[in-house]
Chains A and B, each alone.
Chain A
């Protein structure tokens, strides 16, 4: 058990870091650092879960923290980094509709809109639900920012990262509803891992021998525009 004001301020700091990572994911072109920033973002969620655990003392939160740490901080980033190395994509310079600056501005606007809409819907929430409110605002903003990444980038791997950061938004939101049954959180992570595996494997074709990679990649135009560093 820790002091509630301390917990609150720690969570607030973590919130800010999460927002910064989300902004980075939206604007960066370097794929390798994108993955590590995603891992960092997931780590912040783990920390938030742990702080909340110390506050509420429900074991579900600790379990969620453990699973998130294993899957999102270690396994998924490692997997994507390995794939990237094999596929040799380092940068995703193509943005479909939005340039990084515009997407940053839009996401700031989105956050404000969500704040206003949610405070209208949830208007009159009792004080104990303040965390729920902030979690909702940040979670949904994170989701929309991830969605922007998913739909504004061209490469499937970047799209996957956008989807992952959306999922982080959902998790962030879910963390503040402490009674969500654990089995459900667990199944969602399983689902996430499958989505990641499938989409990355699909992007490099269904075969996975290394010689075939290159043939397939040529066929799928995945590495035509490779850049010299």
Chain B
């Protein structure tokens, strides 16, 4: 029933979008859909025994376990807030002619479809099915990136499709390897995650390494891991900010989710010991590349995009350490990063509207007088920035701390390197904020810039997200702890 509910919501939303004429109504359909998705997930969480098994769920294709609910919940929250945000944002795009009215239906249609596909991906038990949904998310999100009528957007979308799809094909070959391995070991070939994890211990290590490495390539590209991160800053910086928030807060999770599931299978196998150094190496390289790309960055959205790359690197390092405690905090980090990053992109979107350059989205942001013109967005960037570099009251502080502690017990040397890199990234963020936000035009000259009238719908999501992050950082309920523990237990780390 649950899958049908998800699909029915989406079909209803798509129909509403098809028959409505005003942007506001299309937006309402998307907001309603996302809210319904969130409600369904909360219902699952509170009133159902997980892993859920009902009609269509719990067979060989779909299942819902704690990790799935966790990811769907994040997805629902971010999509809801992004849809509210898009209401004001898209109106601004239409006004300035950056988005044509004819593309609106396509935009919101792809939006609603993307939410459904992501949720279905998180519900897939069959890894091949998950692969297909992950691949479809690439395509639908590329449409969202490309709807802005600019050549560079289309370029970014095409780059995204090619890098992600090409890498995902390697993943599929990895899945075929896995299938063949399961066939020789279990007698009957399967790609069901639940069946694979139960039998992974007896798989031949050589095949296991080959399969994991190939699968890793594809999902690494989806989550922007070095050396497949090249599409990420382009796509995230050029997409409309509401879409950037989704790309960073939700779509990267799809890739990490795939890596996590794969690592969980490999962890059962003795071959895991030879895989972890590779995963860890890529994680550290990713952090390094991101940190040093952030340093000279003059474009706010690109800076935030590279910070996503950096956080994916941290997650990868956490997965490589793979003790139950660290995996616990990896999950926490996924949540904290998604929410913080969405708020950052929302704030950056307001600044982008205020100071947009007519030349190119690549151009240097000419931010000045920010506290007079857009005080909320400025504070949003400052607080969100503090949250993302991991300052104490915010949740990322705790997740980073415990991931790094876990790393330190494995290799103090790598810990030292990562600490330096994280410091570089934090400095880059701080440098940008201080240099951009203190730029004030001299008295008398400044009055020629008009203040962008930020609609309420763009402000509210930022405030809600910042409150949510703060609460997550300060309050840590026992329910939350047992929920995360349950996920770790199901992943068998």
Q: Which residues of chain A are within 8 angstroms of B173 by Cβ–Cβ distance?
A: 139-140, 143, 170, 173
B357 touches A (CB below 8 Å)? no
Taking a contact as CB atoms closer than 8 A, the residue among A159, A188, A206 that contacts B103 in the complex is A206
Q: Which residues of B contact A159 (CB under 8 A)?
A: 158, 162
**Interface of chain B, main secondary structure:** helix
CA distance A199 to B146 in the complex (A): 11
- Contact: B162 with A219, CB < 8 Å? no
Which chain B residues (141-191) contact chain A, with CB distance < 8 Å? 142-143, 146-147, 149, 151, 154, 157-158, 161-162, 165-166, 169-170, 172-173, 176, 179-180, 183, 189, 191
**Cross-chain contact A170 with B172 (CB below 8 angstroms):** yes
A123 to B129, CA, bound (A): 30
Residues of A within 8 A of B460 (CB): none
CB <8 Å contact, A191 and B135: yes
- Residue numbers in B under 8 Å from A140 (CB-CB): 173
Give residues 352-397 of B contacting A (CB, 8 Å): none
- Type the 1/0 row for A162-189, where 1 means its CB is closer than 8 Å to any CB of B: 0100110110011001011100100110
A117 to B189, CA, bound (A): 24
CB A120 to nearest CB in B, in angstroms, measures 8
Contacts of B169 in A (CB 8 A): 143, 166-167, 169-170
A203 at the interface (CB under 8 A from B): yes
List residues of chain B with CB within 8 A of the CB of A219.
151
Q: Does A6 reach chain B (CB closer than 8 Å)?
A: no
Q: What A residues does B123 contact at CB under 8 A?
A: none
B299 → A minimal CB distance (Å): 23
CB contacts (< 8 Å) of B158 on chain A: these are 156, 159, 199, 202-203
The number of residues on chain A lying at the interface, defined by a beta carbon within 8 Å of a beta carbon of chain B, is 37
B78 interface residue, CB < 8 Å from A? Answer: no
- Closest residue of chain B to A191, judged by CB? B135
Tell me which residues across on chain A come within 8 A of B157, comparing CB atoms.
202
Say yes or no: A184 contacts B189, CB within 8 Å.
Answer: no
Residues A220 and B151 in contact, CB atoms below 8 Å apart: yes
Determine if A147 is an interface residue (Cβ-Cβ < 8 Å).
yes
Bound: A194/B143 CA distance, A: 12
| Cα(A153)–Cα(B42), bound, Å | 48
Q: Are A177 and B189 in contact (CB under 8 A)?
A: yes
- Identify whether the interface residues of A are mostly helix, strand, loop, or mixed: helix
Complex CA gap A143/B179 in Å reads 19
Flag if B206 contacts A143 (CB, 8 Å).
no
Asked if B207 is at the interface (CB within 8 A of a chain A CB), the reply is yes
Distance, CA A188 to CA B179, complexed state (A): 16
Cβ contact within 8 Å between B165 and A177:
no
A169 to B166, CA, bound (A): 12
* Contact A121-B206, Cβ < 8 Å, known A143-B173, A219-B151, A220-B151: yes
A217–chain B nearest beta-carbon distance, Å: 11
Determine the residue in chain B with the shortest Cβ distance to A118: B210
Q: How many Å from the CB of B130 to the closest CB on chain A?
A: 11
| Complex contact B154–A143 (CB within 8 A) | no
Shortest Cβ distance from B20 into chain A, in angstroms? 20
A205 close to B (CB within 8 Å): yes
A147 CA to B135 CA in the complex, in Å?
A: 17
Q: Is A38 on the interface with B (CB-CB < 8 A)? A: no
A104 to B248, CA, bound (A): 39
Q: A177-B179, A195-B139 are in contact. Are A143 and B170 (CB under 8 A)?
A: yes
Residues of A within 8 Å of B136, CB to CB, are 191, 194
Whether the Cβ atoms of B129 and A184 lie closer than 8 Å is yes
Q: Determine if B165 and A188 form an interchain contact, defined as CB atoms under 8 angstroms apart.
A: no
Contact A150 B151 (CB under 8 A): no
Say yes or no: is A15 at the interface (Cβ < 8 Å to chain B): no
Q: B132 on the interface (CB 8 Å rule)?
A: yes
Q: Are A184 and B180 within 8 A (Cβ)?
A: no
8 Å CB contacts to B: which residues of A196-213?
198-199, 202-203, 205-206
A residues less than 8 Å from B162 (CB atoms): 150, 159, 163, 199
Are A179 and B189 in contact, with the CB atoms below 8 A? yes
Q: A-B pairs with the 3 shortest C-beta distances? A: A184-B128, A179-B189, A121-B206
Which residues of A pack against B, CB within 8 Å? 120-123, 132, 139-140, 143, 147, 150, 156, 159, 163, 166-167, 169-170, 173-174, 177, 179-181, 184, 187-188, 191, 194-195, 198-199, 202-203, 205-206, 219-220
Which residues of chain B have a CB within 8 Å of any CB of chain A? 103, 106, 126, 128-129, 132, 135-136, 139, 142-143, 146-147, 149, 151, 154, 157-158, 161-162, 165-166, 169-170, 172-173, 176, 179-180, 183, 189, 191, 206-207, 209-210
**Interface CB pairs A-B, < 8 A, 29:** A120-B206, A121-B207, A121-B209, A122-B207, A140-B173, A159-B158, A163-B162, A166-B169, A170-B169, A170-B173, A173-B176, A177-B179, A177-B189, A179-B183, A180-B128, A184-B132, A184-B191, A187-B129, A188-B132, A195-B161, A198-B143, A199-B161, A202-B158, A205-B154, A206-B103, A206-B106, A206-B154, A220-B151, A220-B154
Given A166-B169, A191-B135, A202-B146: 10 more A-B contacts, CB < 8 Å:
A121-B206, A121-B207, A122-B207, A179-B189, A180-B128, A184-B129, A195-B161, A195-B165, A202-B142, A202-B158
